[in-house]
A and B are shown apart, each in its own frame.
Chain A
Amino acid sequence: MSSRSLPLQETEVQDRMGAAATIRRGLSLSPELRRGLPGTLAIAVVATAGRVIVPVAVQQIIDGGFVEGGVDMGFVAQMTLLAFVAVLITAAATGWMHLRLARVAETALSGLRIRAFRHIHDLSMLHQASEQRGVLVARVTSDVDQISRFMQWAGLMLIINGGQAFLALAVMLVLSVPLGLVVIALVPLIVLMIKWFQTRLETAYLKVRERVGHMLALIAETVVGAPVIRAYGIETRTRERLDEAIESHRLAAVRAGSFSATFSGAGELSSSVVVAAVLVVGTILAVNGSVSIGTVVAFLFLVQLFIQPVQVMGEAVNEAQTAVAGWRRVIDILDIAPDVADPGPDGVELPHEPVGVKFDGVTFRYPRPGETAAAASGFAALRDVSVDIPARQRVAVVGETGSGKTTFAKLLTRLMDPSEGSVAIADTDVRTIRFDSLRDRVVMVPQEGILFRGTIADNVRMGHPDASKRDLMATFERLGLEDWLNEMPAGLETPVGERGSALSVGERQLVTLVRASIADPDLLVLDEATSAVDPATEVRINRALNTLTSGRTVVTIAHRLSTAEAADRVLVFDNGELVQDGPHTELATESGVYERLYRSWQRGTVV
Chain B
Amino acid sequence: MSTHRTTTAPEDVALLGGGRDLIARQLRRAPREFSVGGVGTILYAAMTIISSFVIGWITDDVLFPAVDAGEITTASLAGAALAVIGVAAARGAGITLRRLGAYYAQYRLQYRDRIEVTDRYLDLPLEWHRRHPTGQLLANANEDVEAASFIAAPLPMAFGVVVMLAVTAVLLVITDPFLALIGFSVGPLLAFTNFRFQRRMRAVASKAQRLRAEVAEIAHESFDAALVVKTLGREDDEVGRFGARSDELRDRMVEVGRLRATFDPVIEALPNIGILAVLAVGAWRVDQGVVTPGTLVTFAYLFRLVALPMRVFGWLLGELPRAVVGLDRVENVLGEEDSVWYGGRNLAKDGGASAAAEDVGYLYPETDYEDLSSTSVAARPSNDAERRGIESITLSVAPGKTIALVGPTGSGKSTFAQLLVRLFDPDRGEICLDGHGLVDLDRSSLASTVSIVFQETFLFNDTIYNNITLDEPFDEADVLNAAKLAQADGFISQLENGYGTLVGERGASLSGGQRQRIALARALVRQPRLLVLDDATSAVDPAVEGSILAGLGELDTTVVIVAYRRSSIVLADEVIYIEDGRVMDRGTHDDLYASLPAYQDLIDAYEQREEETP
Contacts and interface: CB of A to CB of B under 8 A. Distances in A.
Interface string A220-241: 1111111111111111011100
Interface string A287-321: 10100010011001100100000000000000000
Contacts of B161: none
A394 B614 contact: yes
Contact of B138 (A94, A133, A220, A231): A220
Contacts of A554: 614
A553 B545 CA distance: 35
Contacts of B98: 261
A239 B122 CA distance: 8
Interface string B82-120: 101101110111011111101110111011001100110
5 pairs of A and B residues whose beta carbons are closest in the complex:
A102-B257, A272-B88, A604-B542, A257-B103, A233-B447
> Which applies to chain A's interface (DSSP): helix, strand, loop or mixed?
helix
Contacts of A230: 126, 423
Contacts of B257: 98-99, 101-103, 106, 152
Contacts of B408: 534-536
Interface stretch (B367-375, B454-462, B478-486): B454-462
Interface string B199-235: 0000000000000100111011111111111111111
Contact of A98 (B81, B85, B261, B383): B261
B134 A224 contact: yes
A166 interface: no
Nearest to A235: B122
B269 interface: yes
8 contacts: A54-B276, A73-B283, A141-B216, A232-B447, A279-B58, A283-B72, A556-B614, A604-B542
Given A232-B522, A435-B233, A531-B539, A226 B287 contact: no
B613 A127 contact: no
Contacts of B448: 233
A377 to B, nearest CB: 25
B341 to A, nearest CB: 14
Contact of B142 (A148, A216, A268, A304): A216
Contacts of B418: 227
Contacts of B526: 232
B262 interface: yes
A427 interface: no
A239 to B, nearest CB: 6
A549 B614 contact: yes
Given A127-B226, A224-B458, A122 B212 contact: no
A88 interface: yes
B137 interface: yes
B611 A562 contact: yes
Interface string A250-276: 100110011011101111110111011
Interface residues of A, number: 171
Interface string A67-106: 0001101001101100110011011101111110111001
A246 B546 contact: no
A88 B381 CA distance: 59
A462 interface: yes
Interface stretch (A58-66, A350-358, A475-483): A58-66
B220 A76 contact: no
B99 A566 contact: no
A19 interface: no
B567 A91 contact: no
A391 B287 CA distance: 105
Contacts of B544: 604
Contacts of B603: 535
Nearest to A133: B223
Contacts of A283: 62-63, 66, 72, 77, 80
Nearest to B408: A536
Interface stretch (A109-117, A169-177, A368-376, A382-390): A109-117
Given A95-B264, A265-B95, A296-B63, 10 more contacts: A71-B287, A102-B260, A221-B460, A238-B122, A243-B115, A394-B614, A415-B227, A415-B231, A439-B233, A562-B611
Contacts, number: 455
Interface size class of B (residues with CB under 8 A): 35 or more
Given A84-B273, A536-B605, A265 B219 contact: no
A286 interface: yes
Given A219-B142, A243-B115, A271 B88 contact: yes
Contacts of A257: 99-100, 102-104, 106-107
Interface in A10-52: none
Contact of B103 (A221, A254, A531): A254
Interface string B402-427: 00000011000000001001010000
B501 interface: no
B409 A534 contact: yes
A446 B98 CA distance: 59
Interface in A542-569: 542, 545-546, 549, 554, 556, 560, 562-563, 565-567
A439 B138 contact: no
A488 to B, nearest CB: 9
B578 to A, nearest CB: 14
B471 interface: yes
A260 B103 contact: yes
A600 B219 CA distance: 41
Contacts of A503: 383
A117 B226 CA distance: 11
